[in-house]
C-alpha cells in the first residue's frame, strides 16, 4: 500500500504475484530473530565461540544484506533472484511455508482483483514483539473495483 508504483506494476502484470509475495516476505519478514546453539566451535565476525554457545540470528537483517540483495531497501515485486530467509532454511525451514505462500498469493491476488485502490487510511500500528514482525492494526482505504457489465 505504501508503494503505489509497485502496486500498479503488479496490477499490470499479475504474473509477478509469486515474486511479489517473496519480496513481501523479504521486506517485512515475519520472523526477525531466531536462536541456535553452536554444535562446534566457530568464528563469527572475527570472534571465536565455543560449542554450546547460543547465538541469535537476525533474519530481518539477513534479508537486507546488500551482498545478497542489490539495493536491499528498495521494494521490487519482480526481484530475482530473491533467496529470502523469512521461513528459515534447510532442515530448520518452516514446515508450513508453502501453505503460507499459497495463502499470501490468494489473499493479495484477491485484494488486487476486488479493489481498484488499496491505500493507507492511517499510519499502521506495529505489534510490540521483537521476534515476530507484524501489525497491531493496519487501517486501509479500499475502493471497490468496477464490476463487469455494471456502469
Per DSSP, helices labelled H in the chain are 4-12, 17-27, 59-62, 97-114
Q: Quote the mean pLDDT of the chain.
A: 93
What is the tally of structural domains in the chain?
1
**Separation CA 36–CA 55 (nearest Å):** 5
CA distance 11 to 17: 9
Q: pTM for the complete prediction? A: 0.87
Domain membership of residue 130 (yes or no) is: no
CA atoms of 109 and 100, how far apart (whole Å): 14
Whether 124 and 138 have beta carbons less than 8 Å apart is answered as yes
pLDDT band at 150 (very low <50, low <70, confident <90, very high): low
Radius of gyration of the chain (CA): 19
Rounded Cα distance, 32 and 40, in Å: 24
pLDDT score of 93:
87
pLDDT of residue 149: 63
pLDDT band for position 148 (cuts 50, 70, 90): low
Q: Is position 63 within any domain? A: yes
pLDDT at 130: 81
Q: Is residue 103 part of a domain?
A: yes
Q: What is the pLDDT of residue 141?
A: 95
pLDDT tens, residue by residue, 69-112 = 999 999 999 999 999 999 988 888 889 999 999 999 999 999 99
- 124-141 pLDDT tens trace: 999 988 888 889 999 999
Average pLDDT over residues 3-31: 95
The verdict on residue 149 lying in a domain is: no
d(CA 121, CA 112): 17
Range of the structural domain that residue 28 is part of: 4-116
Is residue 36, in this structure, part of any structural domain at all? yes
Amino acid at each position: 500500500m505504501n508503494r503505489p508504483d509497485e502496486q500498479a506494476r503488479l496490477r499490470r502484470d499479475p504474473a509477478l504475484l509469486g515474486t511479489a509475495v517473496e519480496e513481501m516476505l523479504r521486506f517485512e519478514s515475519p520472523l526477525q530473530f531466531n536462536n541456535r546453539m553452536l554444535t562446534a566451535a566457530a568464528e563469527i565476525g572475527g570472534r571465536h565461540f565455543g560449542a554450546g554457545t547460543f547465538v541469535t540470528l537476525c533474519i530481518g537483517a539477513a534479508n537486507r544484506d546488500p551482498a545478497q540483495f542489490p539495493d536491499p531497501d528498495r521494494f521490487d515485486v519482480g526481484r530475482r533472484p530473491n533467496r529470502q530467509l523469512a521461513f528459515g532454511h534447510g532442515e530448520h525451514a518452516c514446515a508450513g511455508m508453502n501453505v503460507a505462500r499459497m495463502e499470501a498469493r490468494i489473499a493479495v491476488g484477491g485484494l488486487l482483483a476486488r479493489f481498484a485502490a488499496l491505500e493507507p487510511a492511517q499510519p499502521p500500528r506495529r505489534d510490540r514483539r521483537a521476534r515476530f514482525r507484524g501489525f497491531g492494526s493496519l487501517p486501509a482505504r479500499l475502493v471497490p473495483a468496477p464490476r463487469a457489465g455494471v456502469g
